[in-house]
Amino acid sequence: MTATHRVKRASSNWRAEEPERGHMTARPRPTARRIGLGHELKTMRRKLGMTLAQAAEDLPFDATTLQRVETGHRSFRQASYLRALLERYGVTDEVEVERLLALQREGSSREWWTGQASSLRSGSDRFLGAEAAAREIRGFHPVAVPGLLQTLAYAAALHALHNPVDAYPPGHTEYSIKTRMKRQEAFLRDVDPVRLWIVLYEPALRYRLAEPGVMREQYEHIADLAARDNVTIQVMPSDIQGYVAFQDIHIMILDHGLPTTVMVDTAWLTVAVTDKPKEVERISRMFDVLAANALPPGETPRIMGQLAREIAP
C-alpha cells in the first residue's frame, strides 16, 4: 500500500467540519475567550499599521501588557483599559464595544489549572488554554506514547524515570500526572468531544519504560481509544524508510474561528505555543508526512494486541 493510499484511508473519516445545525457544542472556555479577544485586537492594530508601542502610547498600560493581551496570556485589569484601546482603534459603535467587553469579562474567569503555576512548566498556562479551546488535536511523539493517550500507571512510570535527571520541584510529578489525566477528558466526554488524531511510532511503543503489566495495560488502552468515533490512531512501523520527526508534535485546531496553534520546541523544559502561519504550516507538514507513512487506523488494534502478546509475563 502506498503512502498516498494510507493517508487517504486514514483521513476519509477525519474532516474538520462545522457542528451540525442544532448540535450541542461545548461552551467556550475562558482562555478561548481571551485568545479570541486578543486575536481581534491584534487584527485591528495591524490594519491600522500601528506597532505595539504606538498602540499603547499614553494609555494606562504598556506595550508588553498589550502583547500579552493579544496572545491571550492575560486580560486587561480594568474594562476602562479596553475601552481606551478601542477608542484609539476607532471602534465607537456601542454594541461592538459591549460585545468585546463581554469577551473580556468571560475571559477573566478562572480555569481549572489557575493557581497551579508553581507546579507546571513555564508556559503551560498558555498551552493548556489553547488546548482547551481546540476542536481537533493532532499529535506525535518520537520516543514515548503521547500524553493524551497515556494511562495513569504509564505516566507515573515515565515521570519516575525522568525525575532523577530533570530534578522536578516538589509537587510537580503529582500535579503533572493529574493535569495529563484531566486533559484527556476533552476527547472522552459524551457531549461534543474533541477530535483526536495521533500517529504512534513503533519504536516508541516498544520502549519498555515500565513493568510488563503496565505496558500491556497501555497497549489495551490505546486499542480501546482507537474504537472511539472521534479518535484516529495510526502506527508508523519501525522499518519505514521515510521521514521521522525528531520532536514532539502537537497541533491544536481551535474552535470559534480562532487560528490553529502549535506547540514549538524550546530550551530549559519550557512550553511555548504559537499561531504564526509559518510555524503552523511547518509543523502541519511534518504531521502530514508522518500520517502518510503510517499504517491505516484499522490496523492499530491488531498491532496493540501483538505488542501485548510479545511482552513476557
pLDDT in tens, 71-106: 777 788 888 999 999 999 999 999 888 888 887 887
Confidence of residue 12 (pLDDT cuts 50, 70, 90): very low
Percent of the chain with pLDDT over 90: 51
Task: With a cut of 80, say whether residue 213 has pLDDT above it.
Answer: yes
What is the reported pLDDT for 49?
94
Which of 142, 131, 256, 237 shows the shortest CA–CA distance to 186? 131
Residue 115 lies in a domain: no
258 and 137 in a common domain: yes
More confident of the two residues 128 and 236: 236
Q: Which domain holds residue 68?
A: 30-107
Asked whether residue 75 is domain-assigned, the answer is yes
Pick the closest to residue 61 from 85, 97, 35 (CA basis): 85
- Is residue 218 a contact partner of residue 207, using CB atoms and an 8 Å limit? no
- HSE-CB at 40 with a 13 A cutoff on CA atoms is 19
- 96 and 198, same domain (yes or no): no
Task: Kindly calculate the radius of gyration of the chain based on its CA atoms and give it in whole angstroms.
Answer: 21
Instruction: State the helix-helix crossing angle for 212-226 and 300-310, rounded to 10 degrees.
Output: 170
If asked whether residues 303 and 187 sit together in one domain, one would say yes
123 against 193, higher pLDDT:
193
Q: What confidence score (pLDDT) does residue 19 get?
A: 34
Q: Is residue 166 located within the same domain as residue 294?
A: yes
Q: Tens digit of pLDDT for each residue in 190-210? A: 999 999 999 999 999 999 999
If asked whether residues 131 and 244 sit together in one domain, one would say yes
pLDDT per residue as tens digits for the range 42-65: 889 999 999 999 999 999 999 999
Q: In this structure, are 191 and 229 located in the same domain?
A: yes
CATH number assigned to the domain comprising residue 226 = 3.30.870
Confidence of residue 131 (pLDDT cuts 50, 70, 90): confident
Please give the pLDDT value at position 104: 83
Total structural domains within the chain: 2
Banded pLDDT at 5 (limits 50, 70, 90): very low
Of 107, 142, 162, the last residue of a domain is: 107
Beta-carbon count within 10 A of 18 CB: 9
Is the domain of 169 the same as that of 267? yes
Among candidate residues 184, 198, 203, the one with its CA nearest the CA of residue 226: 198
Q: Angle 124-132/172-183 helices, nearest 10 degrees?
A: 20
> Is it the case that residue 28 has pLDDT exceeding 90?
no
Chosen domain end from 107, 138, 153 = 107
Domain boundary among 51, 79, 107: 107
pLDDT band at 112 (very low <50, low <70, confident <90, very high): low
Say what the pLDDT of residue 7 is.
40
Cell 520541584 -> residue? 169
Tell me how far apart the alpha carbons of residues 63 and 42 are, in angstroms, rounded to a whole number.
12
Lookup result for grid cell 479577544:
37
Sheet holding 272-274, edge to edge: 231-236, 195-201, 134-141, 249-254, 261-264, 272-274
Beta bridge partners of 201: 236
The verdict on 178 and 302 lying in the same domain is yes
pTM: 0.72
Compute how many other C-beta atoms are within 10 angstroms of the C-beta atom of residue 149.
Answer: 22
- What is the per-residue pLDDT for 18? 34
- Per residue in 258-313, pLDDT (tens digit) is 789 898 765 545 677 888 889 999 999 999 999 999 999 999 999 999 999 998 77
Taking the alpha carbons at both ends of the chain, their separation in whole angstroms is: 34
The count of other CB atoms within 10 Å of the CB of residue 256 is 13
Which ranges of 1-75 does DSSP label H, i.e. alpha helix? 3-11, 30-47, 52-56, 63-70
Task: Let me know if residue 159 belongs to a domain.
Answer: yes
Q: Sorting pLDDT into bands at 50, 70 and 90, what band is 111?
A: low
Averaged pLDDT score across all residues of the chain: 83
Give the up-direction half-sphere exposure of residue 107: CA atoms within 13 A in the CB hemisphere.
Answer: 31
Asked whether residue 16 is domain-assigned, the answer is: no
Q: Which residue would you say has higher pLDDT here, 222 or 115?
A: 222
| pLDDT over threshold 70, residue 41 | yes
Could you tell me the pLDDT band of residue 173, with boundaries at 50, 70 and 90? confident
Cα–Cα distance between 163 and 67 in angstroms, integer?
Answer: 34
Residue 195 C-alpha cell reads as: 477530535
